[in-house]
Amino acid sequence: MSMQTRKKHITTTEILKKKNTEKITMLTAYDALFAKIFDGEVDMLLVGDSLNMSFFGESDTLSATLEQMIYHTKAVCNGAKTSLVVCDLPFGSTICEQIALEAALRVFKETKAQAVKLEGGAEIAQIIKHLTQNGIAVVGHIGLKPQFMRLEGGYKVKGKQESELESLLKDARALEEAGAFCFVLEGVPSEVGKKIAQSVGIPVIGIGSGVDVDGQVLVWSDAFGFFEDFKPKFVRQYLKGAELIRDALKEYAKDVKNGDFPNVSESY
Ligand code: KIV
């Protein structure tokens, strides 16, 4: 069945089954308007805390709150009827089993998201296990972890040293063992992406991790050229969104100034 004719959401089991069969597509979404356009065109929609930068104008993701993530996730769920919706758990909301479970339960009770995403590897495996044991589907996130950028002094590619590769492999296995149904792998060399994808039985969704992983995720405002502050190397721009909007705006302003808008057929 094509995704466009499907009436039900894609499930976590369907995502798992795509490993070694079909590449998985994931894109961020932050509101109902765009979720409706993206819905069914990609397997998963991620309400990423990247919204704190691209839509809220902050310089990193750290100040995003659970309240904001729930608000945006509700909106995305209002627009998405087919794609699986994942809500990012923001910085500070996963610091121990109980706090993470409370945050995830709020997401599940107050929105229709089908999964939550947590940044971290082996060190949070127990927390992920606690969530999955309580009925919460989990997407992991290892490699470059944007929530750690202040601690690490920037966004750094991971896995270049042998020791980093070893620790990433440990993280990947720990996520699988803890019950995550897939994980995001961000900012690692292509060879590392390949090794990690081969080392686990769950799908690895790459961002800046090369082509030899099980799927790709992009921040939509990067992919469609709306976010212009900087363009990471791994982003492919499919549209010059900001330019298109500016051109259209110029037309609108010109028509208003010239008295061309509204015309008779646009008036009561
Ligand atoms: O917040 C986000 O959008 C993310 C993606 C970069 C994977 O975590």
CA 265 – ligand 1 centroid, Å? 45
Range of the domain at 255: 240-268
Q: Is 171 in the pocket of ligand 1 (CB under 6 A)?
A: no
pLDDT at 229: 86
Q: Number of folded domains in the chain?
A: 2
In this structure, the answer to whether residues 201 and 262 fall within a common structural domain is no
Question: Among 123, 186, 191, 228, which one carries the catalytic annotation?
Answer: 186
Backbone angles phi, psi at 130, to 5 degrees: -60, -40
Active site (annotated) includes residue 243: no
134 and 257 in one domain? no
Is 88 assigned to a binding site?
A: yes
**Residue 29, ligand 1, Cβ within 6 A:** no
Mark whether 232 and 257 lie in a shared domain.
no
With a 6 Å cutoff on the Cβ, whether 49 touches ligand 1 is yes
3-state secondary structure the chain: CCCCCCCCCCCHHHHHHCCCCCCEEEEECCCHHHHHHHECCECEEEECCCHHHHCCCCCCCCCCCHHHHHHHHHHHHHHCCCCEEEEECCCCCCCCHHHHHHHHHHHHHHCCCCEEECCECHHHHHHHHHHHHCCCCEEEEEECCHHHHHHHCCCCCCCCCHHHHHHHHHHHHHHHHHCCCEEEEECCCHHHHHHHHHHCCCCEEEECCCCCCCEEEECHHHHCCCCCCCCCCCCCCCCCHHHHHHHHHHHHHHHHHHCCCCCHHHCC
**What pLDDT was estimated at residue 230?**
84
Give the residue whose CA is nearest to atom 6 of ligand 1.
219
State residue 4's pLDDT score: 60
- The verdict on 179 and 268 lying in the same domain is no
Identify the residue whose C-alpha is closest to ligand 1 atom 5.
Answer: 48
The ligand 1 atom at the shortest distance from the C-alpha of residue 26 is 7
pTM beyond cutoff 0.85: yes
Closest CA to 145 of 133, 130, 155: 155
The atom number, within ligand 1, closest to the CA of 88 reads 1
- Per the CB < 8 A criterion, the answer to whether 54 and 227 are in contact is yes
What does pLDDT average to in each consecutive run of 10 residues of the chain (268 residues)? 75 98 98 98 98 95 98 98 98 98 98 98 98 98 97 95 97 98 98 98 98 98 93 95 98 98 98
User: Residue 210 in contact with residue 197, Cβ under 8 Å?
Assistant: no
8 annotated to bind ligand: no
CATH of the domain at 119: 3.20.20.60
Does 165 lie in the same domain as 82?
A: yes
Tell whether 201 and 219 lie within a shared domain.
Answer: yes
Atom of ligand 1 nearest to the CA of 117: 8
User: Does the N-terminal peptide bond of residue 189 adopt cis geometry, omega within 30 degrees of 0?
Assistant: no
Beta carbons within 8 Å of 69's beta carbon, 6+ residues apart? 47, 49, 87, 88, 89, 90, 107
**190 labelled as ligand-binding?**
no
Residues 264 and 172 both lie in one domain: no
Q: Annotation-wise, does 212 bind a ligand?
A: no
On the 0-12 / 13-18 / 19+ scale of CB atoms within 10 A, 152 is exposed
Q: Are residues 164 and 258 located together in one domain of the fold?
A: no
Q: Are residues 45 and 172 in the same domain?
A: yes
89 and 213 co-located in one domain: yes
Are 262 and 208 in a shared domain?
no
- Same domain flag for 97 and 141: yes
pLDDT at 266: 98
